[in-house]
Every structure is written in C-alpha cells, then in structure tokens.
Amino acid sequence: MTDPHLQALVILLTDRGKGRYGLHDVLQIQHALQAARLAEGDGRQPALITAALLHDIGHMVHDLGENPTNQGFDDRHEEVGQKYLSRLFGPEVTEPVRLHVAAKRYLCAAEADYVSRLSPDSVRSLGLQGGPMSSVEMEVFRDNPHAQAAVWLRRYDEASKVKDLETPPVAHFLSYLAQCLRP
C-alpha cells in the first residue's frame, strides 16, 4: 500500500476504530468490517463495499465520545463522514454514507416491522435524527439517485453488530478503496 490517503484511512480505522460501537458489544472497526464483508458477500460494486467499510467514519473523526446519542445528542456522523471522505472519493461512495441515516428513517416509514428490528441504540438515535420519514420526505429520498445504495448500506449497517464475528482484516478491502479513489 503506497497511497498516503489509504494509509491514513487504515490508521484512522485501526486506531480510532478501537472504540466501542454505541451500546453494542462490538468495536467500531468490527462493525465496519462486518458491513463491508456483507456488501462484498452480496457481490456489490467496489463503491458500495467501500461505503460499507467507511460509513461510520464520522464517528471516528469527531471528538464527541463513543456514544453521544446516550447523552441526547445527534452527532450527524453521516454528514461529518461524507465531508471527510469527499476529498478522497466521489459521490458513488460518499452519498450512500451521507444518506445511510436517511435510509434508516425511510425504512422505518416504508416497512411496518423495520423499527422492531432496530437495536435499542438505533431506536434512540432514530428519535434524535427526526424519526420515521413523512410521505413527502420518502418521495424526495426515493428520487435521489443514491437512495437504493443507501438502503443496502443501511441493511448492512443494522446486520453488522455481531459480537466476535470473524471478518477479513482491513487490508482485504484496500483494493476496493483504491479502485474508488479520486484520480
């Protein structure tokens, strides 16, 4: 790995990713690797695999602690992450990252049982993030060209909270990141 941007991402993931993922028994890095593994296993494009690995990078670049939602605060990690990643990647990576919280709100409105499948931590943050979308918000969301990728990413996000699940290391996913870097 010679690209300094990828080296910086790996350092960020491995160093800042040691923090606990909200109220779950997994670390940030484990959550990220699980999400990327699911996207890869589904045969998704490199951009979505990259987005899955990096979707919560906003939690790792702010200094608000491991679980700001527990203090009643929405850290807007999706926007922080999108801004951080946009210097390296195009919208095919950054927009699903930016929209993965909106996708949760969308799915809570679109699927009657989706809220019941959320972890307690995700339910708490849902309230801080605006709750389920209105019908108007749903229509606007569906019109976004990255909405479907964000929904897939959201599903990977929710399924990536498994304690002690074996995953490939970060190095396994570097080729996907390299393919998606801005020229």
Backbone dihedral region of 119: left (phi > 0), alpha (psi from -120 to 50 degrees) or beta? beta
The full set of domain ranges for the chain reads 4-180
Q: How many CB atoms lie within 10 A of CB 149?
A: 25
CA-to-CA distance for 98 and 44, rounded, in angstroms? 18
- Domain 4-180 class? mainly alpha
List of E strands, 63-144: none
Q: Record the tokens describing residue 131, joined without a space.
A: 């709750």
Model pTM score: 0.88
* 3-class DSSP assignment, residue 127: helix
Give the DSSP H or E segment for 150: helix 147-158
Q: What is the pLDDT of residues 112-163, one digit of tens each?
A: 899 998 888 788 778 778 889 999 999 999 999 999 999 999 999 999 989 8
Average pLDDT score over residue span 95-117: 95
For residue 27, list its beta bridge partners. 20
